[in-house]
Structure 1
Amino acid sequence: MAPEPTPFQHRSQPDWVAMEKWISDTVVHPDPALDQAISTAQAAGMPPIEVAPNSGKFLQLLVSIRGARRVLEIGTLAGFSTLFMARALPRDGQLVSIEYKAEHAAVARKNLDDAGVGERVDIRVGAALDVLPTLEGEEPFDLVFIDADKQNNSNYLEWAVRLGRPGTVIVLDNTVWEGAPMEPERDPVNAPGIRDSLQLLGSDPRFDATVIQTVGSKGWDGFALAVIR
């Protein structure tokens, strides 16, 4: 029986982390509701893979700039990024967030309700590729945030097109992954899916896209930003 692959290592630098914290404290100003999302995730034994506060605020601003009323999130975890985006929605807006694990969804639900944005968020539990078809026929989404299993990135992009419309903004997280997309053999679990999704964004005429590199507490990473044509 083949051994389990070694988990891919993300490496950070003290200066990156210090600057990220300074930016968060100076510009983003995390509050008790966001702190609760982090602490409850830790208490529940979730992996520390939520977006950094400055990235969460970026998502919030994108929702606001786009004037989004309908947002789709693939990957809820404890609701940290969900909370940022829900705060930017109008009173009649809705965020549909898909979470694979029911226990994670329960933690996120409490965090969102405690933060006062629960009525704007519909958490649907299950494998994303099972849940996404149930959203067909609903009002199109204005913004889609994808932060889930990397093997299905390209499938999630296809669903973003099906559930969106021209002008829909797509954010695909974790697309630099310590440079592994250039050498997928460095992380055979995640890197091939990331590489394939970036090639799709760059070659498919339905998308207009770029990739932004970032450094910080999550190491050397980044995100793709795309608009459906």
Structure 2
Amino acid sequence: MSQQQWDAVDAYFSDTLVGHDPVLEGALAASAAAGLPPIAVAPNQGKLLHLLALAQGARRILEVGTLGGYSAIWLARALPADGRLITLEIDPAHAEVARRNLKAAGLEQVAEVRLGRAADSLAALEREGAAPFDLVFIDADKPGNPDYFARALRLSRPGTLIIVDNVVRGGVVADADSTDPSVIGTRRLHDLIAADPRVSATSVQTVGTKGYDGFTLARVQG
């Protein structure tokens, strides 16, 4: 199977089940115009995040890694009117694009973009005594994933879902001898999850417009 075939299948499912959305497409266009890298989740993956948040009945969502706010829009749209999404971004230019995109989507009242290093922002949430989040989506620098996951656990409750994106690394995650910092961070993440009895998790490989990758889905048990 080729990338061309994966693209065609993704396009079929996105056209058939996701459809076209001027707000979401506008967010991608605005991100591209601002020079952001084209690494936002695919439309069908964004819809999956949206459905998981709805199924979870999420009222509070935490996102680590905002980029231009595309996935934040998908997630925030699943919230009730009094819900809250906090999304963390290290790059000031990315954060500004995301804020504009969230405002254009009419979500500025439920979605907050916090600027700074994710580890610092997560620590600040802990110090603030932030109420537990119902769903956490981690899609930031991969070497930091073990720390982000550990901190997300401290901001969770029994039943919280934690989703970590880009864990397959083109298949290199299976190479225990890899010196790639992103692979090392990803393997450390899964060692951490496997050793923690509070968490039940699985990982799924995916192919599509984003190539060969996958995600890990974890549920906090207690």
TM bucket normalised to smaller: over 0.9
Q: Which amino acid in the other structure matches residue 158 of structure 1? A: A
Counterpart pick for 1:124 among 101, 114, 137: 114
- The reply on whether 1:218 has 2:214 as its aligned counterpart is no
User: After superposition, what is the alpha-carbon deviation per residue over 1:176-214, rounded to whole angstroms, capped at 9, x for unaligned?
Assistant: 111111115556131100111112222211210000110
Partner of 2:79: 89
Partner of 1:8: none
- Residue-pair matches, total: 219
Partner of 1:174: 166
Partner of 1:33: 23
TM-score when normalising by structure 1: 0.92
CA contact (8 A) 1:99 1:123 kept: yes
Partner of 1:3: none
Counterpart pick for 2:3 among 13, 17, 21: 13
- TM-superposed deviation, 1:30: 3.2
TM-score when normalising by structure 2: 0.95
**2 CA distance for matches of 1:199 and 1:65?**
28
CA contact (8 A) 1:28 1:54 kept: yes
Gaps of 5+ in 2: none
Counterpart pick for 1:52 among 27, 42, 45: 42
Q: Which runs of 4+ in 1 moved over 4 A?
A: 184-187
Counterpart pick for 1:102 among 88, 92, 97: 92
- What fraction of aligned residue pairs are identical, expressed as a percent? 50
Gaps of 5+ in 1: 1-11
Partner of 1:6: none
Question: What's the C-alpha RMSD, in Å, of the aligned pairs?
Answer: 1.4
CA contact (8 A) 2:137 2:164 kept: yes
User: After superposition, what is the alpha-carbon deviation per residue over 1:74-128, rounded to whole angstroms, capped at 9, x for unaligned?
Assistant: 0000000000000000000000000101111111111111111111101100000
